[in-house]
Structure 1
Amino acid sequence: MFVVIFGRLSCPFCVRAKQLAEQLEQAGNIEGYRYVDMPSEGVSKDDIAKTAGKPIHTVPQVFVDEQHVGGFTEFDQFVRDHQLLSTSSTA
Structure 2
Amino acid sequence: MFVTIYGRPGCPFCVFAKDLAQRLEARDAIDGYRYVDMPSEGLTKADLSVKVGQTVHTVPQVFLDDTPIGGFSEFDQYVREHRLLAAAATH
TM-score with structure 1 length normalisation? 0.92
Structure 2 portions without partners, runs of 5+? 87-91
Q: How does 1:52-63 map to 2 (within 5 A)?
A: 52-63=52-63
Alpha-carbon distance between aligned partners in 2 of 1:11 and 1:50, rounded to the nearest angstrom? 21
| Counterpart secondary structure, 2:85 | coil
Paired amino acid for 1:51: K
> Which residue in the other structure is 2:89 paired with?
none
Q: Distance in 2 between matches of 1:9 and 1:65?
A: 23
> Corresponding residue for 2:48?
48
What is the root-mean-square deviation in Å for CA atoms of aligned residues? 0.7
Q: CA deviation at 1:9?
A: 2.2
Task: Spell out the pairing of 1:1-91 with structure 2 (5 A cutoff).
Answer: 1-86=1-86
Q: Distance in 1 between matches of 2:9 and 2:44?
A: 14
Q: Residue deviations 1:38-89, cap 9 Å, x none?
A: 1111011111111111100000000001000100000000101111013xxx
**Structure number, greater radius of gyration:** 2
The percent identity for this pair of structures is: 60
| Residues 11-34 of structure 1 deviation map (CA, whole Å, 9 limit, x = unaligned) | 000000000000000010001000
Instruction: State the TM-score, normalized to the length of structure 2.
Output: 0.92
